[in-house]
Amino acid sequence: MALEDAKTQIDHAFTRGDPRGLSYENAFAGATSFLRRRYTKDLAGIDIAVTGLPFDQAVTNRPGCRFGPRAIREASSLQTYDPPYGWDGFDPLSAFAVADYGDMAFDYANVAEVPGRVEAHIASILDQGAAALSLGGDHFLTLPILRAHAAKYGPLALIQFDAHSDSWQDDDPTRIDHGTFVYKAVREGLIDPARSATIGIRTTNPDMLGIANLDARSVHETGPNATAARVREIVGDAPAYLTFDIDCLDPAFAPGTGTPVWGGLSSGQAAICLRELAGLNVVGGDVVEVSPPYDTTGATAIAGAHVATEILCLWGWTRRR
């Protein structure tokens, strides 16, 4: 069936009718959208929308993750033929109506207005009754995304995969910095530190603001299953937002990022940990800091596309029939 469909399917980003179902167009051809979902701004009947936030002017080291959403979409074309592996046959693409909401429009030279535009952009998805899955862009973006989600759900549990805590103290509301979004989110009451956890940390910050720190070494020593079990204990039944900074992965697996740190998780560890979080009430998520210019192989974007698909699965797992 798939071979026959491949002979006729092309440009599902524009030609797809039913928002549900797998796609069999050739991975190397056609217009790229996330998992070959249809581009649309009309989310009537859509369960979850994927959107790109191509902003990287808050980085402390190497820019380039503005190209992340485009690269992740292209890499995702390798995953559209079969249900995601390891989910007991659960296929979110067939069970739910998924759309690509396209990228956020903004003036790259007016950085100060970006936070408000991001919050409004995500709110526009949530207000239409869909969940939001974001492709970054740098990690500052998670702050205005959290503002939009907290306005709907109240304080959230944060599940953060990262090499850095991003909890550096910053009491200047005008600063736009990818290393301080957690601090500001705690100060603003967007997240509940007691129900939150960060996984993969391997840089020093003495104040984790009460957020559980399951650092990279602990993952290596106890394993991803035990790590996920601890996250499940911490988060409980709270509405949770999952953010995955691709630098959580060791540079051997994801070299294309702005602030790489050795000793990180492997792709396999991350995959197991994510899948073992199934059952948590994940209401939204993002993948950030994929910077294609620093990875000629495309491996980082491939990892980012897989992480985004896993977040889609986590969101759908508790909502499946």
DSSP for 10-58 reads --HHHH--SSSS---S-TTSS---GGGPPB-S--TT-SEEEEEE---TT
- Structural domain count, the chain: 1
Helix 267-275 × helix 224-235 angle, to 10°: 40
Which tens digit of pLDDT belongs to each residue from 50-84? 999 999 999 999 999 999 999 999 999 999 999 99
DSSP states along 262-275: SS-B-HHHHHHHHH
Q: Binding site residues for Mn(2+), as ranges?
A: 139, 162, 164, 166, 245, 247
* pLDDT, tens digit, 9 for 90 and up, residues 261-288: 999 999 999 999 999 999 999 999 999 9
Give phi and psi for 213, each to the nearest 5. Answer: -110, 100
Do the beta carbons of residue 63 and residue 45 sit within 8 Å? no
Predicted model pTM: 0.97
Strands 48-53 and 98-103: parallel
Q: pLDDT tens-digit profile of 83-126?
A: 999 999 999 999 999 999 999 999 999 999 999 999 999 999 99
Residues 173-191, mean pLDDT to the nearest whole number: 95
Distances (CA, A) of 169 to 28, 137, 175, 223: 45, 22, 11, 31
Domain range for 269: 2-317
Annotated binding site: 139, 162, 164, 166, 245, 247
CATH number at residue 199: 3.40.800.10
Residue 200 per-residue DSSP state: -
